[in-house]
Amino acid sequence: MPRRKKRNLLPVVTVFVVILAAMAFYIYLQMEADITITPPDTVADAPSGSIMLNSLDQIQDNLPAIQSAFNENRSRIVLPGHIAMPLVGEDINADGHPETIAVEFMSSGQLHTELSSEGFQGPVQNIRVFTIRNADSIILLDVSPNAMKDSRGVILIDQVRAEYGYAFRISLYDGEPYVARVRLIEIIILDSSGRPVSDDLTVYWRPADSRYAATNTFGAPGTFSN
């Protein structure tokens, strides 16, 4: 009687081990990708693992997670249509710290073509510049309809209430007294038709006292010393 050939189980076992290893590695990656964030109020139908944000306050609360996700996989950051982050985790003030600019658009109104053709965006009702210092998220600049304030709550310039919002434009500046190229924020108060009703204000970082300032004569004597 012929002897039955023994089946070689080694290939089957090898495949099984490979499958288990792949599953374990996938679970590890999923665990590493999870970031604890402040729960949002309403952003629906977002992919699993997304960082969902509904307000500028939530951006401040979750700033470390946002900057990490932006560098790794920015598609995980989910924003509603009225919120935008033009710059994330960039040293815009040449001060050695990463800053993030976030804006909140008006629910109605539009920008006149004379401004949009010059690269301005809007109308927006809030502009904030955030940074991280000693593991805390802080506001370096807070522009609201009533005032523009620095990190200490000091009003930068006297202004009328921006009832119809602002136009803004982010521009580059490379010159003294900065040690590297920086970003300036140009801001204009709008009327009901989206036209300017104020001078073009330049909001800029003052290295000497580590705060924001605003002027309509940027580059003139006293810009960085007064």
Task: Kindly list the distances between the CA atom of residue 22 and the CA atoms of 4, 9, 27, 64, 200, in Å, as whole numbers in the listed order.
Answer: 35, 20, 9, 30, 58
The model's pTM is 0.77
Q: Which amino acid is at 174?
A: D
Per-residue buried b or exposed e for 6-18, using 16+ beta carbons within 10 Å of the residue's own CB: eeeeeeeeeeeee
Q: Which of 123, 107, 193, 109 is nearest to 165 (CA)?
A: 123
pLDDT for 68 equals 85
Residue keyed to tokens 């809007």: 122
- pLDDT tens for each residue of 139-172: 999 999 999 999 999 999 999 999 999 999 999 9
- pLDDT tens for each residue of 64-77: 889 888 877 777 88
Tell me phi and psi for residue 127, to 5 degrees.
Answer: -135, 130
Helices (H), the chain: 10-33, 56-61, 63-73, 113-116
pLDDT for 6 equals 46
Query: Which residues are paired to 213 by β-bridges?
Result: 204
pLDDT for 12 equals 44
Contact status, residue 105 vs residue 155, Cβ threshold 8 Å: no
Distance of CA 33 to the CA centre of its chain: 20
pLDDT for 177 equals 93
Which residues of the chain are under the pLDDT cut of 50?
A: 1-7, 9, 11-44
Contact status, residue 103 vs residue 86, Cβ threshold 8 Å: yes
Paired tokens of 170: 């982010």
Pairing mode, if any, of strands 148-150 and 166-173?
unpaired
Rounded CA gap, 64 and 153, in Å?
A: 23
Spans of all domains in the chain? 14-77, 81-221
pLDDT for 219 equals 85
Pairing mode, if any, of strands 51-52 and 77-78?
parallel
Distance of CA 178 to the CA centre of its chain: 22
pLDDT for 220 equals 87
